[in-house]
Chain A
Amino acid sequence: MIEIAHVSKSFRPKVALSNVSFNIKKGTITGLLGPNGAGKTTLIRLMNLMIIPDDGFIKFEGQLLKENHLKEIGYLPEERGLYKELSVKQQLLFFAKLRGLTSEEAERGALYWIERLEMSEWSHKKTESLSKGMAQKVQFAVAVVHDPKFLILDEPFTGFDPVNIDLIKQLLFEFRDAGKTILLSTHNMQRVQDICSHIILVNKGQLIANDAINDLLDKFERKHFMVAYRGTSIGFANALWTDFELLEQTERSDGVVEAHLLKRGAKSVDDLINNLKGHVSIESIQRAPINMEEVFLKLIANTTEI
Chain B
Amino acid sequence: MSAVLLIAIKEVKQRILNRSFIVMLFLVPTMILSMVYFLVKAADEGKKNVHVLIADPGNILQGVISSKDASNVNYSFVSDYLEIEEFKIGKRYQEYDVLLEVNEKVLNNKKVFVFHRDFLSNNIQGSIRYTFERRVEEVLISEFSDLSIDEFRQLKQPLNVDFRSIDNPTNSSSNKAGWVGYFFGMVIMLVTLFYGLSILRGIAREKADRVVEVVVSIVRPYQLMLGKIIGIGTAAIIQIGFWVLFVFLGLYALQDILFSDFFIDASLTASQVSEGANEILQSEFNRIRNNEMIHLIYDRIDLALMLPFFFVFFLATYLFYGALFSLIGAAMGSEGDGQLFILPTVFLVLFTIIAGYFMLNNPESQLFVYGQFIPFTLPMFVMIKLSMGYAVGSGYLIWISLLIMIFSIILMLWIAGRIFKVSLLSYGHRLTLRGLFKWFLSK
When the two chains form their complex, are residues A85 and B218 in contact, meaning their CB atoms are under 8 A apart? no
Given the complex, which residues of A lie within 8 Å of B443, measured CB to CB?
52, 54
When the two chains form their complex, are residues B218 and A45 in contact, meaning their CB atoms are under 8 A apart? no
CA distance A291 to B376 in the complex (A): 63
Mark interface residues in B1-32 (1 if CB within 8 Å of A CB, else 0).
10100110010001000000000000000000
When the two chains form their complex, are residues B3 and A70 in contact, meaning their CB atoms are under 8 A apart? no
- With A54-B443, A81-B212, A82-B209 as known contacts, state yes or no: A99 contacts B218, CB within 8 Å: yes
B356 to chain A, nearest CB (A): 37
- Tell me the B130-150 residues at the A interface (CB within 8 Å): none
A121 to chain B, nearest CB (A): 23
CA distance A54 to B220 in the complex (A): 18
For the complex, would chain A's binding face be called helix, strand, loop or mixed by DSSP majority? loop
Given the complex, which residues of B lie within 8 Å of A50, measured CB to CB?
213, 216-217, 425
- Tell me the B204-224 residues at the A interface (CB within 8 Å): 206, 209-220
CA distance A99 to B209 in the complex (A): 20
Given the complex, which residues of B lie within 8 Å of A97, measured CB to CB?
1, 6
CA distance A85 to B330 in the complex (A): 20
Given the complex, which residues of A lie within 8 Å of B425, measured CB to CB?
45, 50-51
- Kindly state whether residue B117 has any CB partner on chain A within 8 Å: no
Complex: chain A residue closest to B220, CB-CB: A67
Complex: chain A residue closest to B441, CB-CB: A12
B206 to chain A, nearest CB (A): 8
Complex: chain B residue closest to A97, CB-CB: B6
CA distance A2 to B40 in the complex (A): 73
- Kindly state whether residue A22 has any CB partner on chain B within 8 Å: no
Complex: chain A residue closest to B221, CB-CB: A50
- Kindly state whether residue B116 has any CB partner on chain A within 8 Å: no
Mark interface residues in A135-147 (1 if CB within 8 Å of B CB, else 0).
0000000100000
A101 to chain B, nearest CB (A): 10
When the two chains form their complex, are residues A81 and B216 in contact, meaning their CB atoms are under 8 A apart? no
Q: Looking at B10, B14, B211, which has the most chain A CB atoms within 10 Å of its CB?
A: B211
Q: Looking at B211, B218, B220, B443, which has the most chain A CB atoms within 10 Å of its CB?
A: B218
Given the complex, which residues of B lie within 8 Å of A142, measured CB to CB?
214
Q: Looking at B1, B10, B214, B215, which has the most chain A CB atoms within 10 Å of its CB?
A: B214
B17 to chain A, nearest CB (A): 9
When the two chains form their complex, are residues B217 and A81 in contact, meaning their CB atoms are under 8 A apart? no
Q: How many chain A residues touch the partner (CB < 8 A)?
A: 27
A102 to chain B, nearest CB (A): 9
Residue from B7, B209, B212, B218 in contact with A70 in the complex, judged by beta carbons closer than 8 Å: B218
Mark interface residues in A46-79 (1 if CB within 8 Å of B CB, else 0).
0011111010000000000001001001010101
CA distance A292 to B324 in the complex (A): 49
When the two chains form their complex, are residues A95 and B213 in contact, meaning their CB atoms are under 8 A apart? no
Given the complex, which residues of A lie within 8 Å of B218, measured CB to CB?
70, 75, 95, 98-99
When the two chains form their complex, are residues A77 and B210 in contact, meaning their CB atoms are under 8 A apart? yes
Complex: chain B residue closest to A77, CB-CB: B213
- Kindly state whether residue B41 has any CB partner on chain A within 8 Å: no
- Kindly state whether residue B438 has any CB partner on chain A within 8 Å: yes
- With A50-B425, A54-B443, A85-B14 as known contacts, state yes or no: A98 contacts B6, CB within 8 Å: yes
Given the complex, which residues of B lie within 8 Å of A54, measured CB to CB?
443
Complex: chain B residue closest to A154, CB-CB: B213
When the two chains form their complex, are residues B3 and A98 in contact, meaning their CB atoms are under 8 A apart? yes
B99 to chain A, nearest CB (A): 67
CA distance A75 to B218 in the complex (A): 9
- Kindly state whether residue A84 has any CB partner on chain B within 8 Å: yes
When the two chains form their complex, are residues A80 and B6 in contact, meaning their CB atoms are under 8 A apart? no
Given the complex, which residues of A lie within 8 Å of B206, measured CB to CB?
81, 83
Residue from A49, A51, A81 in contact with B209 in the complex, judged by beta carbons closer than 8 Å: A81
- Kindly state whether residue A122 has any CB partner on chain B within 8 Å: no
When the two chains form their complex, are residues B219 and A98 in contact, meaning their CB atoms are under 8 A apart? yes
A90 to chain B, nearest CB (A): 9
Complex: chain B residue closest to A41, CB-CB: B425
When the two chains form their complex, are residues A98 and B438 in contact, meaning their CB atoms are under 8 A apart? no
CA distance A73 to B214 in the complex (A): 12
B16 to chain A, nearest CB (A): 13
- Kindly state whether residue A94 has any CB partner on chain B within 8 Å: yes
CA distance A258 to B119 in the complex (A): 110
When the two chains form their complex, are residues B10 and A94 in contact, meaning their CB atoms are under 8 A apart? yes
- Apart from A81-B212, A97-B6: 11 A-B pairs, beta carbons within 8 A: A45-B425, A49-B217, A50-B213, A51-B425, A52-B443, A70-B218, A81-B214, A84-B209, A95-B218, A98-B219, A99-B218
Closest 3 CB pairs of A and B: A81-B210, A81-B211, A48-B217
Give the interface of A toward B (CB within 8 A). Answer: 11-12, 45, 48-52, 54, 67, 70, 73, 75, 77, 79-85, 94-95, 97-99, 142
**Between-chain CB contacts (< 8 Å), 10 pairs:** A50-B216, A54-B443, A75-B218, A77-B217, A81-B212, A82-B211, A82-B214, A95-B218, A98-B219, A142-B214
